[in-house]
Structure 1
Amino acid sequence: MSEATKTWIGEMSGIATHTGPGDQTINVQLMNERYQVPGSLARDSRGRTPRTVATQDLLWLYERFEPPVGFEDAVEKLKMRGTVLLEGKKGDGRNAAARMLLRRLPHEQGPVQELLLGEEERNSSLLLDHGLVGDEDRLLLDLSEKDEECWRRVREELSSFRASVQQRQAGMVLILPPGIGHLLTSELADLRYVISRPPGMELDIIKRHMRSGGIDPTLADPPRGALKDFLDPSPSLSDVATFAQYLCRAAADGGSFDVWCHLALDAFRGQPVHAARLLRVVRKGAPRALLVATAMLHEARGDAVHRSASLLLAAVDPTAQTRPALQHRPLSERLTDIEARTDDNGRVTFTGLEIDAALRTRVWHDLPDLRGPLRDWVGEVVSLPELDEPDRDALVERFAEQSFASRRPDDLIILSQRWSRTPGNLPQLRAAACALSHGLHNREYGAKFRKRILHWSTSQHLSMAQRRVLVEVCHEDMAVRHPHAALVRLHHLARREKPSGLAVDALVQLVDDDHRLRRRILARLARALASAAGPNTKEFLTEDTDLFLRFGVPEQLSDYGARSRPLIAESAVRNDLVAGWSTVFGTLLAERWTGLAHRWLNAACTPSPFAEHFLDVLVSACRQRGDQLGMLYRVGRRWAAAQPIQDARTQALPGRLFLKISDALRAQTPFARETTTT
């Protein structure tokens, strides 16, 4: 996403309009309103946000989850110790068990946060970032694909990281790499939980799916025929869940239970023979184009499939001759030739269950020269007016699946760039966001997409359309499982956004919706301001100072929320606030920060046991400079005199402030003497 633009067209969120004569002063950093971030790009065709989908997926898993042996003991261990190390064979449902363990914690129900190893921006040797642990978080660290060397490094940091987890009253499930049991210390071995399947677990999972799908589970007793054939090799639990879903889908078409099982088994086996036979029989260009279009647009309307097939034929074989329209064979006949049909609603489907998925796999596997043209074809088809929103979403998802399966994730990145170039083309912008979302959710390539989005977010040359796509993907999607990574990217986008608009609003709303992130953004801003205030660089000093004024609101800092104490009570947070205010005092005119300072003085006069911290931070931020301390004292006196209600604490504030300033000035002399003598 590197397309440059110098023209800003359209509605700019968060920007005031000058409607009268004379100068205008806009303190946008002090506006205390509810920021609205458009979510139309990241929502699915049913209007659900990624956060809603993640929560519903967790509930869906809960309703179909069959607990392994010893699960309740693992739940109690997690509640008591804050950490469980989960071990098991591949295919035994480790990830599902980890999520269900975390769901049993007595915390606010929401998406599980997946921990990322390593720091994205700083040169650090640490793999586990303590700053990622928030109050009552539910954390998942999946090391199942890591090697022994990675585990040794994680183990060295695990003790201190667990201390942070316990301090925040959070819970963490760590899925261990295979074959490292001998490397566990006695303390860690006590936290281990080894997954073990009870007899008949596979059938119980299938019955749970049947029950949730409104099907009588006793129909599966005893296992016979195709069901017994499936269960005999002791399949992985993920395969069991897939088979059960196919069975429930087959049941929707009627027939007997044995027929459903046969259809489900054929679908599970991928229909490879059937798909290969269709590709072998359908060899001519036009019928094969219709075959591929039907596989990619399965369940779309017939006119959409027809037009898409014509576009594919033209893209792959521009020299292909076409007959006059009156000589064309009817679409229904051509669909019959490829074993497809239109249903009562005019939507095109194959006659067999999961034939479309098998065909897509075969096309990408057996026709590698077609991958590039198919990418370009998908890029064009997604804008067709004949397609509904669900059809477009399904098309992007299917293309993403094949891109990952063929180890071509860059095809998805290329399309997301193309689709995000046209501001007014909403279908393409939605497709761009959908493509990035699938990339972020992919287990193998998720890190690649996070890094690419990080690279884009640091670019100064994003168009409005590209910026909108990135903002919504970070705010709506990435923030669900990796909120801290989303915060980093939104911060980059916000500080490069002139004038301030969508990215700033998204960042503010993200932090307002998740109190755990306020600590993180204040720490980032403190580091950035300390660096930008140096003698050699002023990069983003103004932007980060404005952001600090937005996030340094005392109402949020003094709010307990679900915590045992507010953020202002934490010494690390106060140090970050001191650093931020120090830059504010040293770089901004008083009228820029007076409004926020008044709110801080008001917070200092509340009966909160932590109210005194607000004055301490302001005084410390002056860094013992007499001019800044004098300005702060004058602001405090004027604020107190202007209060309509003169209670005891308001009247006493100037005196309290004067004493703290005096103490700060007295502490300056020994420090100066020590500096002179060394």
Structure 2
Amino acid sequence: MSTEHTTWVEGAQSVTHTGGGDIHVSLGAAAHEHRKPVFRQLPDDQLLWVRRVLVAPVNMGRARTTLKETGTVILDGAPGGGRTAAARVLLREHHRPVGAFRELLPGERDELPLHNPALVDPGDRLLLDLASAEAGLWHDALGGLPALRRTVHDRRAHLVVVMPHGGALDPDLQHYRVEIGPPVSPLEVLRRHLRAHGVPHEQFLRDDVTVDDFLRDRKPMREIADLADRIRRARESAGPGEEFPEWCAAANRARAVRRAKVAQDVAGLPEASQRALMITVSLLHGAHADVVHRATALLLNAVGPSEEGIPLLQRMDLAQRLSEISARCGPDGRVRFTELDYDSAVRAHFWDHMPDLRPHLGTWAARVVESNDPHLVPDVRDGLVARLAGEYLRTGRAEALAGLAERWSTQGAGRARSEAAVQALTCGLADPAHGRHFRERIYQWSAYRQLTAEFHHVLVQVCADVLAPGHPDHALIRLHHLARRELGTVRALEALCDLTAGSRRLRRRLLDRLARGGLPPADVAIFLRVSDPAPLTDCSVTTRALIDEEEVRRSLITCWRAVLTEAVSQPEGRRAAARAEIRRWLHWAAENAGDRGEVLLDVLVESAARCGDDRGSAFAVLYTSARRTECASPGSDAHSARTTDLLLQKIGVAQGLGPAVPSASARGGRS
């Protein structure tokens, strides 16, 4: 992904993070709470935000026309001109009820090759951001682009590729290349961001010397967006009577490197209590004073002596202690440093220069989030975790952050610590430099590690709510592993079912994965939950239902063979679920499937025919289930009777007891 220069600042609704600072993601209910995930909502929110703040770069119109006419556009241009933002806005403009926005990650585990047609669903909006890709990755991607482009065109999807600036491009792809340049007016870029941040237009439309000086030299779009965000934060923390010039001046001062000043300030505060308060305020910046006071005491208990020997009334009050570290408590009761972005410099100083403090901060943060304080609201808790995670990620300690999230989810971890673990992993997944590491780490946990129930729930929530929106294939594989290994709960299985319910492509891929995996008992149980005949026979999106596809029928036959084998060989308790699903298929074939009903019967009969020595018993199970379905049918008895007769005829043919007739799929010419 292009991370150096973009043209937006993410809002609170986004899970994408493209640089320094904080990320806050409130996902609502706890990992322990039984709830339905919110697939695909976050990327659309993110794309809407990008569209709000984008000032059209040079050649945006040509890129829009190329994408509309061909379904594909390849964006080139110098870094800092807004290529990635333009790519996202172009895809947002093609939002449709069908399909989803996805970012392709060629070369990663679980990502299908670009030439694989299964990568694309009708109506999908695909982003292939290789702006910062190395030459080898770009060369490999070029090999798959022609096939990917053809699939995108055939399925009426849309593809935007961001290519490395100066990279080679094959002659047959030059037609789709558009060179993007920065917007003509950097001032308009700044104002558009300020408007999106809610700054009153009567403020930002006035001339300002600080803004003029900043924009005098051509700046990358990312730096302009960062300035707008600092102005927004300066406005939020401004004193009475301060207006736009003061906000801009404070934002500009915050650009200066504060590390030397912080080092000098820390040297002048030798007491442990002073430094503990300084660290606490930096990690809980904007939290209520009661939270800061309690958290400071917890930090002192974790790493140093307490003040128990000093009488309560002889101790300095919080206001005095805050003044010593250049912080104050505002009228709203919230504590902040008096200088903008001083908190991030304090965090960086203690993290970099007191490495022995790092493990204590993880333990302390877990205790803070578990504090029973009415002012410890979700935003405050998430902010603490995000700032701490930011220091891990800033210094390249992704594995240590992953380990911290796992430790927070040990046996007996409560709701607050589980939510903190979700937030920590969210920050890791959203980080451009370390997202791939966290996707791989979650795979290793899901597939191979023995997990506590608490951490299992954390991973299910992260896969469903964070990973699935932008990378659903990765979420599917990890949820499959979690579902086949879970005991005493079905949360991963339900999340997996919900994920596939919204995508023909994902349902097709899961069926193929189940069929190729040998169908152990856990996978048989999963198949019985995802084999709903309704989406398999649905043709409301396209004229071709899933069950019309030869590959899908082949997967279904393999899976049903395992189900029928289990239905005739396992104890009654294990057989009940299989027979219930058979009856559901037969009922759907009789009442709702139309001309696809006979295809459902063909799949069941072919599956039974492949059961080897158990084929006779499997046929008996099908026939018995049909009779029971007929008796219990709430619809037309005649439809059910005809379905049973047709099933019996097909069973007879499969056993060589009747004249051969072509299958429904063969007669209909479907393949």
TM class by shorter-chain length?
0.7 to 0.9
**Deviations 1:386-411 (Å, cap 9, x if unpaired)?**
43322111010001111111111223
User: How far is 1:285 from its partner?
Assistant: 2.5
Paired amino acid for 1:142: D
Residue in structure 1 matched with residue 209 of structure 2 by the alignment: 225
User: Within 5 A, what are the aligned runs for 1:189-200?
Assistant: 189-200=174-185
Residue in structure 2 matched with residue 632 of structure 1 by the alignment: 622
Whether 1:545 and 2:524 are equivalent positions in the alignment is: yes
User: For 1:331 and 1:551, how far apart are their aligned partners in 2?
Assistant: 58
Whether 1:107 and 2:92 are equivalent positions in the alignment is: no
Asked if 2 retains the 8 angstrom alpha-carbon contact of 1:42 and 1:49, the reply is: no
User: Within 5 A, what are the aligned runs for 1:527-546?
Assistant: 527-528=516-517, 531-532=518-519, 541-546=520-525
Paired amino acid for 1:632: L
**Deviations 1:597-645 (Å, cap 9, x if unpaired)?**
2332333334634333212212222346652446535544664576576
Asked if 2 retains the 8 angstrom alpha-carbon contact of 1:287 and 1:338, the reply is: yes
User: Within 5 A, what are the aligned runs for 1:338-487?
Assistant: 338-386=325-373, 387-423=376-412, 425-459=414-448, 461-487=450-476
User: For 2:39 and 2:605, how far apart are their aligned partners in 1?
Assistant: 43
Paired amino acid for 2:89: M
Asked if 1 retains the 8 angstrom alpha-carbon contact of 2:39 and 2:464, the reply is: no
User: How far is 1:333 from its partner?
Assistant: 0.9
For normalisation by structure 1, the TM-score amounts to 0.83
Q: 1:522 aligns with which of 472, 496, 511?
A: 511
User: Within 5 A, what are the aligned runs for 1:12-161?
Assistant: 40-41=29-30, 52-108=41-97, 112-118=101-107, 120=109, 126=113, 130-161=117-148
**Deviations 1:231-278 (Å, cap 9, x if unpaired)?**
123221111111112223333435232222111112234544543443
User: For 2:286 and 2:464, how far apart are their aligned partners in 1?
Assistant: 31
User: How far is 1:298 from its partner?
Assistant: 0.8
User: For 2:208 and 2:634, how far apart are their aligned partners in 1?
Assistant: 82
| C-alpha RMSD over aligned residues | 3.2
Asked if 1 retains the 8 angstrom alpha-carbon contact of 2:78 and 2:181, the reply is: no
Paired amino acid for 2:587: N
User: How far is 1:432 from its partner?
Assistant: 0.8
- Alpha-carbon distance change, 473 to 646 in structure 1, aligned in 2, over 3 angstroms: closer
- What SS does the corresponding residue of 1:349 show, helix, strand or coil? strand
Paired amino acid for 2:622: L
Whether 1:242 and 2:226 are equivalent positions in the alignment is: yes
User: Within 5 A, what are the aligned runs for 1:156-167?
Assistant: 156-167=143-154
Residue in structure 2 matched with residue 336 of structure 1 by the alignment: 323
User: For 1:389 and 1:373, how far apart are their aligned partners in 2?
Assistant: 22
How many pairs align? 616
User: How far is 1:175 from its partner?
Assistant: 1.6
**Deviations 1:558-590 (Å, cap 9, x if unpaired)?**
223544433222222111111111111223236
User: How far is 1:420 from its partner?
Assistant: 0.7
**Deviations 1:47-103 (Å, cap 9, x if unpaired)?**
996854443333222211111122132123223322222222222222211111110
User: Within 5 A, what are the aligned runs for 1:565-576?
Assistant: 565-576=544-555
Moved more, 434-443 or 378-387: 378-387
Paired amino acid for 1:204: E
User: For 1:197 and 1:616, how far apart are their aligned partners in 2?
Assistant: 59
User: For 1:184 and 1:283, how far apart are their aligned partners in 2?
Assistant: 60
Residue in structure 1 matched with residue 606 of structure 2 by the alignment: 620
User: How far is 1:336 from its partner?
Assistant: 0.8
- What SS does the corresponding residue of 2:594 show, helix, strand or coil? coil
Asked if 2 retains the 8 angstrom alpha-carbon contact of 1:364 and 1:406, the reply is: no
User: How far is 1:320 from its partner?
Assistant: 8.8
Asked if 2 retains the 8 angstrom alpha-carbon contact of 1:65 and 1:205, the reply is: yes
Paired amino acid for 2:526: L
**Deviations 1:503-535 (Å, cap 9, x if unpaired)?**
22222222224444222221111111xx35xxx
Q: 1:593 aligns with which of 578, 586, 590?
A: 578
Moved more, 447-456 or 51-60: 51-60
Residue in structure 2 matched with residue 26 of structure 1 by the alignment: none
- Alpha-carbon distance change, 561 to 338 in structure 1, aligned in 2, over 3 angstroms: farther
Moved more, 108-117 or 479-488: 108-117
Asked if 1 retains the 8 angstrom alpha-carbon contact of 2:80 and 2:222, the reply is: yes
Asked if 2 retains the 8 angstrom alpha-carbon contact of 1:490 and 1:507, the reply is: yes
Asked if 1 retains the 8 angstrom alpha-carbon contact of 2:300 and 2:306, the reply is: no
- What SS does the corresponding residue of 1:378 show, helix, strand or coil? helix
Q: 1:656 aligns with which of 646, 649, 659?
A: 646
- Alpha-carbon distance change, 175 to 478 in structure 1, aligned in 2, over 3 angstroms: same
User: For 1:221 and 1:501, how far apart are their aligned partners in 2?
Assistant: 55
Asked if 1 retains the 8 angstrom alpha-carbon contact of 2:37 and 2:465, the reply is: no
User: How far is 1:192 from its partner?
Assistant: 1.5
- Alpha-carbon distance change, 643 to 391 in structure 1, aligned in 2, over 3 angstroms: closer
Paired amino acid for 2:364: W
Asked if 2 retains the 8 angstrom alpha-carbon contact of 1:460 and 1:496, the reply is: no
User: For 1:600 and 1:442, how far apart are their aligned partners in 2?
Assistant: 45
Q: What runs of 5+ residues in structure 1 fail to find an aligned partner?
A: 1-37, 533-540, 671-678
User: How far is 1:551 from its partner?
Assistant: 1.1
User: For 1:383 and 1:82, how far apart are their aligned partners in 2?
Assistant: 50
**Deviations 1:23-49 (Å, cap 9, x if unpaired)?**
xxxxxxxxxxxxxxx9613699xx996
- Alpha-carbon distance change, 234 to 476 in structure 1, aligned in 2, over 3 angstroms: same
- Alpha-carbon distance change, 618 to 73 in structure 1, aligned in 2, over 3 angstroms: same
User: For 1:325 and 1:193, how far apart are their aligned partners in 2?
Assistant: 69
Whether 1:267 and 2:248 are equivalent positions in the alignment is: no
Whether 1:610 and 2:600 are equivalent positions in the alignment is: no
Paired amino acid for 1:469: V
Residue in structure 2 matched with residue 23 of structure 1 by the alignment: none
Paired amino acid for 1:157: G
- Alpha-carbon distance change, 461 to 656 in structure 1, aligned in 2, over 3 angstroms: same
User: For 2:551 and 2:281, how far apart are their aligned partners in 1?
Assistant: 58
- Alpha-carbon distance change, 500 to 355 in structure 1, aligned in 2, over 3 angstroms: closer
User: How far is 1:462 from its partner?
Assistant: 1.9
- Alpha-carbon distance change, 129 to 381 in structure 1, aligned in 2, over 3 angstroms: farther
- Alpha-carbon distance change, 90 to 282 in structure 1, aligned in 2, over 3 angstroms: farther
User: How far is 1:128 from its partner?
Assistant: 6.0
User: For 1:128 and 1:243, how far apart are their aligned partners in 2?
Assistant: 41
Q: 1:580 aligns with which of 559, 562, 566?
A: 559
Paired amino acid for 1:86: L
- What SS does the corresponding residue of 1:356 show, helix, strand or coil? helix
- Alpha-carbon distance change, 197 to 161 in structure 1, aligned in 2, over 3 angstroms: same
- Alpha-carbon distance change, 109 to 580 in structure 1, aligned in 2, over 3 angstroms: closer
Q: What runs of 5+ residues in structure 2 fail to find an aligned partner?
A: 1-26, 569-574, 661-671
User: For 1:472 and 1:546, how far apart are their aligned partners in 2?
Assistant: 21
**Deviations 1:149-194 (Å, cap 9, x if unpaired)?**
11111111222223333333222222212321xx211221111122
Moved more, 646-655 or 509-518: 646-655
**Deviations 1:268-296 (Å, cap 9, x if unpaired)?**
34544543443343343221221111111
- What SS does the corresponding residue of 1:610 show, helix, strand or coil? helix
Paired amino acid for 1:133: V
User: For 1:468 and 1:78, how far apart are their aligned partners in 2?
Assistant: 41
Paired amino acid for 1:566: A
- Alpha-carbon distance change, 457 to 39 in structure 1, aligned in 2, over 3 angstroms: farther
Q: 1:206 aligns with which of 168, 190, 195?
A: 190
User: For 2:105 and 2:579, how far apart are their aligned partners in 1?
Assistant: 40
User: For 1:644 and 1:231, how far apart are their aligned partners in 2?
Assistant: 72
- Alpha-carbon distance change, 51 to 366 in structure 1, aligned in 2, over 3 angstroms: farther
User: For 1:262 and 1:436, how far apart are their aligned partners in 2?
Assistant: 36
Paired amino acid for 2:152: V
- Alpha-carbon distance change, 298 to 81 in structure 1, aligned in 2, over 3 angstroms: same
